[in-house]
Chain A
Amino acid sequence: MRQMAWKKRKSMDGSMKNRARVSGMTGLGALYRKELADHLKSKRFLILLILIGSTSFASLYGALTALGSAEDSNFLFLKLYTTSGNSIPSFLSFIALLGPIIGLALGFDAINSERAGGTLNRLVSQPIYRDSIIIGKFLAGTAVIAAIIYTMGTMLGAMGVLVTGLKPSGEEIWRVLIFLTFTVIYVAFWLAVSILFSVVCRHAATSALASIALWIFFAIFMSLVASIIANAMYPINNEYNAMVNSMNHYTLNLGINRLSPYYLYSEAISTIMNPGVRSVNVVTVDQLIGAVSGYLSLGQSVLLVWPHLTGLAALLLVAFGGAYLGFMRQEVRAN
């Protein structure tokens, strides 16, 4: 038996000897494929899909019931995404709040589960660059995120069109696409954050908790912190203070809030999805004199949130850069 196995091997040796040329990209490709397949087959993905799907339908339902009483009949297609009704939040606010959980769920055990399972050792001993492991994971996660977001976003629109018979204009479609792209970047930021925690924390549970804590902080507590600091710096507790400080107070409050990716993203998408928003900063009465009330064109809306996009992209880069550096500098030694 052994003899036979050996003979078989001999005959195969001829073809085996010319070992496949290995380049860094081969490894990245293989890793990307595997991660993508893992995500798509996992129960986690299914749960996320159900979660996002059901909230989307709920928000669409709310929007449809409230749409009838809208006083402004311009950009009605966009209102499918932005209107809340029957005390159901709009798709926009749902996705701003729940979007991060997609990123967190896909990344919180990216590195530490490999480490715990002893597969990291095996991975790094393959002829691949070490960074292709973390890059492959991030890219696969981002691809899954993009798939979920674009699918849900377009499906929501399509259903709205079917139910209401609205005909979206080209500008509205562009606005929705830009909004969805913003969302992908925002969620990818949270993916990068959770990968960072998975590099830093040894246990998947710890990194999951840490990233969820960060998410809750930005979504809920950041605005409290911002107003506390703004109140302390520029109190507006009496008439005189209110007169002198209110401008500074508001600006500082806004500035601190904008450090939070949640706020940054919310502000950006509400500007994009609502052409009526003409400014994201404080506007004095003085500045408004002579202004014609109207909608902003798409280009102007984008210009208004360009800093937000830059800020989100920077946050994404910082988070992923941190994860990357941490991973590259870490010892591979198991335990």
Chain B
Amino acid sequence: MTEKSRNVIEIAHLTKQYGAKTAVNDLNLSIKRGEVFGLLGPNGAGKTTTILMLLGLTEPTEGSALIEGMDCTRNPLEVKSITGYLPDNVGFYSDMTGRQNLRFTGRMNGLSGKALEERIAHLLNRVGMEQAADRKAGTYSKGMRQRLGIADVLMKDPEIIIMDEPTLGIDPEGMRELLTLIRELAQEDGRTILISSHQLHQIQQVCDRVGIFVGGQLIASGTLPELEEQIRRDGSYLLELEVQPCDDRLLGMLRGQEGVLRISKEGNTFLIDAKTDLRASLTRFLGEYGYTVLHLHQRGGDLDEIYRRYFEKAGQSNETNGMEKKKKHGWKYEK
């Protein structure tokens, strides 16, 4: 159990500056064994930079990142032998078949002979690519490339898997399979997975914890309910309510309720902005007066809302952020 709770990834005060621009600013994060952690943030928030630092591919300006207690900058070889990285837009040698591509990766990881062929066959089966395995990788679709990418990452049997935007450009069916696979990798194989993404819905389905990363800073992290709670503490409750019949008496009553700040109507739905959780008292009241509740939903439970709110907050607290980001884009394209 102690083994289980140990942190696999430990990031402390990690900072990366490109000239005057700060891509990652004092990042502190620890990820436990077997956990699926989602690093959420808009494009250019510094997610990829963080990942590159974790793999020892970019040197941090300050701070440190440890994987299994090994410093990522000083022992990149050891770190990379237990860490699989699936880059966004993963590429394969187009004039080699899928199988040959995997064989090459296996060789770089010191595999050879029968063990290598067995693992290739096993992984191709696992990602459902046996049929296409002996076709040239140049003919693969985006979804197939992504699946082969996962097989490629698994070639080294990694303890930690880092995925950069894995869901980008995948069709819904492929997405479902991918997410199932990610779950399996974490729950059944006990691998630790770090996913970076700006697509909230997929992350929400698969992650144990998420961190919200804006402008190089981790502005919140925790499980979904924790984030929700955090938002509530400094925000308000937004309740969606749809009842039958929908009359003035109801509106009057709602107005009279303690803690209600604002009521607006969106189609047939009331949107009630309140200071407290109204659900209990409201249900009691509606029951008493014979209203039929068609829809009652506290907003904020889904990541979309959390994400939006955090971005709003980040935007308010950091006006210069936008300018900085523009500059950063300029730098990126220039390269």
Q: Find chain A residues with CB under 8 A from B107 CB.
A: 26, 29-30, 33-34
Complex: A17 Cα to B94 Cα, angstroms? 31
Q: Find chain A residues with CB under 8 A from B82 CB.
A: 19
Q: Find chain B residues with CB under 8 A from A33 CB.
A: 107
Q: Which of A12, A17, A33 has the most CB of B within 10 A?
A: A12
Residue A289 lies at the interface, judged by CB distance under 8 Å to chain B: no
Q: Find chain B residues with CB under 8 A from A129 CB.
A: 77
Residue B52 lies at the interface, judged by CB distance under 8 Å to chain A: yes
Q: Find chain A residues with CB under 8 A from B83 CB.
A: 125
Complex: A80 Cα to B219 Cα, angstroms? 76
Q: Find chain A residues with CB under 8 A from B89 CB.
A: 118, 334
Cβ A335 vs Cβ B87 within 8 A: no
Given A26-B108, A332-B52: A122 and B87 interface contact (C-beta under 8 Å): yes
**Tally of contact residues, A, Cβ under 8 A:** 42
Question: Which one, A2, A12, A42, contacts B118 given CB within 8 A?
Answer: A12
Complex: A17 Cα to B191 Cα, angstroms? 13
Interface membership of chain A positions 97-140, coded 1 if the CB is closer than 8 angstroms to chain B and 0 otherwise? 00000000000000000000111011111111100000000000
For residues 125 through 165 of chain B, which have their beta carbon under 8 Å from a beta carbon of chain A?
A: 125-126, 149, 152, 156-157
Question: Which one, B115, B125, B156, B332, contacts A126 given CB within 8 A?
Answer: B156
For residues 11 through 26 of chain A, which have their beta carbon under 8 Å from a beta carbon of chain B?
A: 12, 15-17, 19-24, 26
Residue A145 lies at the interface, judged by CB distance under 8 Å to chain B: no
Cβ B109 vs Cβ A22 within 8 A: yes
Cβ A8 vs Cβ B122 within 8 A: yes
Residue B105 lies at the interface, judged by CB distance under 8 Å to chain A: yes
Interface membership of chain B positions 88-110, coded 1 if the CB is closer than 8 angstroms to chain A and 0 otherwise? 11111111000000001101111
Cβ A16 vs Cβ B157 within 8 A: yes
Closest to B127 in A: A5
Complex: A237 Cα to B31 Cα, angstroms? 80
Nearest chain B CB to A163's CB is how many angstroms away?
40
Closest to B332 in A: A335
Complex: A42 Cα to B95 Cα, angstroms? 9
Question: Which one, B93, B105, B188, B335, contacts A117 given CB within 8 A?
Answer: B93
Q: Find chain B residues with CB under 8 A from A41 CB.
A: 95
Cβ B126 vs Cβ A5 within 8 A: yes
Complex: A118 Cα to B92 Cα, angstroms? 7
Given A122-B87, A331-B58: A127 and B52 interface contact (C-beta under 8 Å): no
Given A19-B157, A118-B90: A333 and B52 interface contact (C-beta under 8 Å): yes
Question: Which one, A15, A23, A332, contacts B57 given CB within 8 A?
Answer: A332
Interface membership of chain B positions 62-100, coded 1 if the CB is closer than 8 angstroms to chain A and 0 otherwise? 000000000000000110111111011111111100000
Nearest chain A CB to B68's CB is how many angstroms away?
13
CB-defined A-B contacts under 8 Å, sample of 19: A9-B122, A16-B157, A19-B81, A34-B107, A41-B95, A117-B93, A121-B85, A121-B90, A122-B105, A123-B108, A125-B55, A125-B80, A125-B84, A125-B85, A126-B108, A127-B80, A128-B77, A331-B335, A334-B87
- Closest 8 A/B residue pairs (Cβ): A118-B91, A20-B110, A30-B107, A125-B85, A127-B81, A121-B87, A117-B91, A127-B80
* Chain B residues with a Cβ under 8 A of chain A: 48-49, 52, 55, 57-58, 77-78, 80-85, 87-95, 104-105, 107-111, 115, 118-119, 122, 125-126, 149, 152, 156-157, 184, 188-189, 332, 335
* Chain A residues with a Cβ under 8 A of chain B: 2, 5-6, 8-9, 12, 15-17, 19-24, 26-27, 29-31, 33-34, 38, 41-42, 117-119, 121-129, 331-335
